[in-house]
Amino acid sequence: MTDTMTVGSLNRINKTYSRRSMFLRRFGAHKLAVTGGIVLAVVVLVALIGPLLAGDPLALNPSQRLASPSFEHPFGTDNYGRDTFARAVAGARVSLLVGAVTAIITSVLGAIVGLFASYNRIADAILMRISDGLMAFPAILLAIAIMAAMGQRISNVIIALSIVFTPYVARIVRSAALVAKEQTYVEALRSQGASLFRILWINIFPNILSPLIIQATFVFADSIITEAALSFLGAGVPPPAPSWGNMLLDGKTLIYNAWWMTVFPGAFIMSTILAVNLLGDGLRDLLDPTFNRRK
């Protein structure tokens, strides 16, 4: 199924070698995408093995309050004497988890809603009006409202972000499917007695996979930012569990005394978002059939 990733570029590629190797070769040549991929891989690695190296992110140590970066505490400590490095690394797990799970949920929901809307006018009218309504709110306000209604839990953060971002994905999928639907092969399939299910999921779905993958990377980045913003506003991941956002919140009042409390989580957020966006941009270039790579 990986073959279907380059679907869009198909018509241009009139060569016989496999589309997968073609894609990998072009990806390798795309410096920004490669950079984004490497940085993201490092962050993921840190999130995975970091907690084994760093100490307990929740361990209080009153004698070591607000210690500046040292060999023992490379990122310093916070106002409870907790190790900032351990907390940032634990926060990476939270952020990546929230980003990845939200990206997966919105992709699945967005694909279902978008494809269905592309095929049924009544469903389209209803679903698109609902999504217009959701999109009319600034994402962060809507997320705060949902969190306020459901209570502060990581799972609720994911649910709130999924509600916020699904309409964006559904729109992209819908418009891609509307284009695919106009192709003669869809009419040909109908003339062969294909069911709606077979047309939508077996035949149109692979043709919308590239925009969906690209959109998923942006949702991934946006949910990390939005989660950080929510936590910063005190409506996200509840303390004492660390997240990059609530670490910024904790550091805010002490920024003149202990810059390390904000700079390190801030740097993590920035580099992760940058990496994911680079990757997403790169994928867009690589998967877009109308994109002609310059020499």
Partner 1 sequence: MTNLLEVVDLRTSFDTERGTVTAVDGASFTVAPGEVVGIVGESGCGKSVTAESILQLLDPASTTYSGQVRFGGEDLLTFGETAMRRIRGNRISMIFQDPMSALNPVFTIGDQLTEAILAHRRIGKQRARSEATELLEKTGIPEPQRRMRQYPHQLSGGQRQRVMIAMALSCDPELLIADEPTTALDVTTQSQILKLLIELKDEFDAGILFITHDLGVVAEICDRVVVMYLGEVVESANVHTLFDSPAHPYTRGLLASTPDIASDPSIDLPIIPGTVPTLHNVPVGCRFADRCSFVLPECRDRPIDLEVLSDGHSSRCIRSVKLFEDSAMSDGVAR
Minimum CB distance to partner 1, residue 262 (Å): 48
Tell me: does residue 56 bind partner 1 (CB under 8 A).
Answer: no
Tell me: does residue 206 bind partner 1 (CB under 8 A).
Answer: yes
Q: Which is nearer to partner 1, 22 or 254 (CB)?
A: 22
152 to 191: interface string for partner 1, x by CB under 8 A: -------------------------------xxx-xxxxx
Tell me: does residue 59 bind partner 1 (CB under 8 A).
Answer: no
Q: Which is nearer to partner 1, 104 or 189 (CB)?
A: 189
Among all chains, which residue has been given the structure tokens 């070769």?
25
232 close to 248: Cβ distance less than 8 angstroms: yes
Tell me: does residue 21 bind partner 1 (CB under 8 A).
Answer: no
Q: Which stretch binds partner 1 (CB under 8 A): 6-14, 94-102, 135-143, 231-239?
A: 6-14
Tell me: does residue 198 bind partner 1 (CB under 8 A).
Answer: yes
Record the tokens describing residue 116, joined without a space. 């269905």
Q: Which is nearer to partner 1, 47 or 115 (CB)?
A: 115
Q: Which is nearer to partner 1, 54 or 115 (CB)?
A: 115
- Write out the DSSP string of the chain: -GGGGGGGGGGG---SS-HHHHHHHHHHH-HHHHHHHHHHHHHHHHHHHHHHHS--TT---GGGTTPPS-SSSTT-B-TT--BHHHHHHHHHHHHHHHHHHHHHHHHHHHHHHHHHHHH-HHHHHHHHHHHHHHHHS-HHHHHHHHHHHH-S-HHHHHHHHHHHHHHHHHHHHHHHHHHHHTSHHHHHHHHTT--HHIIIIIIIHHHHHHHHHHHHHHHHHHHHHHHHHHHHTTSSSPTTS--HHHHHHHHHTTTTT-THHHHHHHHHHHHHHHHHHHHHHHHHHHH-TT-----
Minimum CB distance to partner 1, residue 122 (Å): 8
Distance (Å, whole) CA 243 – CA 291:
38
Distance (Å, whole) CA 120 – CA 204:
14
Tell me: does residue 65 bind partner 1 (CB under 8 A).
Answer: no
Tell me: does residue 26 bind partner 1 (CB under 8 A).
Answer: no
Minimum CB distance to partner 1, residue 7 (Å): 5
Tell me: does residue 16 bind partner 1 (CB under 8 A).
Answer: yes
Residue 77's beta-bridge partner residues?
A: 83
Minimum CB distance to partner 1, residue 38 (Å): 30
Minimum CB distance to partner 1, residue 200 (Å): 12
Q: Which is nearer to partner 1, 137 or 185 (CB)?
A: 185
Which residues 87-126 are close enough to bind partner 1 by CB under 8 A?
Answer: 121
Minimum CB distance to partner 1, residue 11 (Å): 6
Tell me: does residue 293 bind partner 1 (CB under 8 A).
Answer: no
Among all chains, which residue has been given the structure tokens 């109908």?
190
Q: Which is nearer to partner 1, 9 or 262 (CB)?
A: 9
Binding residues for partner 1 (CB under 8 A) = 3-4, 7, 10-11, 13-14, 16, 121, 183-185, 187-195, 198, 202-203, 206-207
